[in-house]
Structure 1
Amino acid sequence: MTSKLNIAIVGATGVVGSIMRELLAAEREKWGEIRLIASPRSAGKVLNVGDEEITVQAMSPEVFEGIDIAHFDLPDEVSAEWVPVAAEKGAIVIDKSAHFRMEDDVPLVAPEANPEDVRNRPRNIIANANCTTLTLIPSIAPLHREFGLASMSVASYQAASGGGKAGLEALYEQVNKTTPADGLGTKPGDVREALGEEANEAFGAPLAWNVVPKVGGWRDGGWTSEELKVRNESRKMLGHPTLKVASTCVRVPVAIGHAQAVHATFENDVTVEQARAVLEKAEGVTVVDDPGNNVYPTSIDSAGISGTQVGRLRQSVDFPNSLEFFTVGDNLIKGAAENSMQVAELLRKELTES
């Protein structure tokens, strides 16, 4: 057994970085040195990992020397520049950006679907999937293994925090600006006038009292980048390159917690009872499904919770071998920080316990 691995959190001052620090503190005894890295303007700040005070260091090639695993949570263009630098210094990089996800020589890993892929990392880079896909994969992967997934249609209802701190602040500002002190709310027709054109900047339309059928940038054929991520990333992690996927991604006025309505068709016969039995045993999935007593997954109940929840399980009436279900997950925890930590745990076991 080798010594404990040294960890870096790159983007340590951000929203996901703060959750990473909490998760590391909860299992501090497993790891060696923890190094916090951010942009030069944040260098010198002192942040806590549990009771431990750590000074933030500025990004540089030298800061990665002696680091075994580096968690990156940076914009795509910054990751594109710095992830290879960290990897060249000997760190195994777990990157949350979209830049490397679909490259053939970079594994895209969700431990519930393809944990074995962490060992095939020729560039010392492992990609973390999109937060929307990571809400779906823990439930769809075990069903695929058991019944053979043929196709799926996914409608997502995505929280404002998927747009980072700026997204959360935009939602809060819009809600506060359009909610009178008497609590009755502004008439829907008055919202655009009250908010002004600047309300379109964060999400493409006002998010307060609204739903916006656009997440990500526009792509050919009227698709958004987020919708294509659900298709392409699911195919890669499930090892199913011909999987038929339809996806519509919608931003909703929720702070935290992505939700998805899923229609899944399988190659083999499947019943609700069989699917429930599989999901109740699945890693990272909690079945929350007693609709007669108004028990089902909601975004507000997923906030701050590890893993994902699934419910509203039902048999498709008009489609053979098909199920409908609803799944939710905290997009900042399972959708980012927790998945990255789960991948790091796979690496820790490989490198120190083998």
Structure 2
Amino acid sequence: SMASRFIWLTQYLPSGAEITLTEPKLIPVGNNQYAVLFSEETSDQSILHYLLMDASGNVILSKLYKNVTIQTDSQPILWGRNIVWVSGNYDNGSYDSSRTYLYEIPVVTTPLNGIALNQTNLTIDEGNTQKLTPSFTPSNSDDVKDVVWTSSNPGVASVSEDGTIQGNGYGQAVITASAGDFQTQCQVTVKVSENNTPLTKPVLKHSQKAADQIHLTWKKVPGAKGYQIYCRTDSQSSYKRIKTLKTGAVSFDAAVVPGVTYSFKVRAYGTNASGKNKYSKFSAVKSRKAAVPAPSKVSCKMSNGGTEVSWKKVAGASGYVIYRNGSVAKTVKSSVSTWKDTKAYDSQTGMYWVYNYYVKAFKTVNGKRIYSKPTKTVNLYS
């Protein structure tokens, strides 16, 4: 009839954020159908809209592709059953023309509306592998079927790009398979083979970066289902078990009080061929007198109206004391990591006095302060 009519493909409500719709493209895809592409751009990303339309302009289906872009001088073409074009990368509200990319999307006529796995629960032995196989709904979908695999706990079970699960340690993990806006999961349990092989004795290490914790670490023992941690203080005559780890973890933060000496040891446990518990020998004992670590990254600089002293906070500390030329200048709370010395500035002359500063952290125990060693000394010259 040679008549014209308008078909609105978008509907937006004002929200305060600037959105640009740009680069509409029309591509014949056969069977008297057409693909309409256009970009929705914001300050931080570009979203490609794909619509499949019939010859009368009726929208048959629509899809979104995040971080897919079309530049002004790009012209998508049909290649086989894919639409392809070249474009720069959209980043921070503009296109990077120094690098170009080949983009490709299928001519979708039957969109994906679901993904499933051949197993939703499985159990594997430590060190073994098993592959998950995805299926899609509908089965004849010609949509993008790229699957992204993730694990909630790679230390227990990791997953490769083809869905192969590797049992890494005793415990449980959730494997997630994602395709577009759809995802499905499989609960994986990794067990340790039951045998009579003795468990290796763990090698225990310790360190302290917090005022109220000593950090314990050891390497994973093959065949272990978990670990038992024992502790004794200088006022106790025997060791007490303070923690049992069952998830394959190989570290633990033990609560401590500064000034008290702690002795730790750890052993692995598993199951023998008869189903009974078996244990490794205890690790060598590691002893440490709990202290308050000194703050790190101490520095000072000129600031408006004074010299600003700063430091990195110590976890578990009760507060900090700043020393000026060897004498106490200020005591601050544990939440504070900077202090301005207004006495170091002469408002009449605009000059700064060059003082030496260092900081100590402290932990209050039974009403008494226990101090860390001092930080290095800093001044405006350093």
Is the helix fraction higher in 1 or 2? 1
Is the strand fraction higher in 1 or 2? 2
Normalised by the length of structure 2, the TM-score is 0.18
User: Which has the larger Rg?
Assistant: 2
Greater RCO structure (CA 8 Å; 6+ sep)? 1
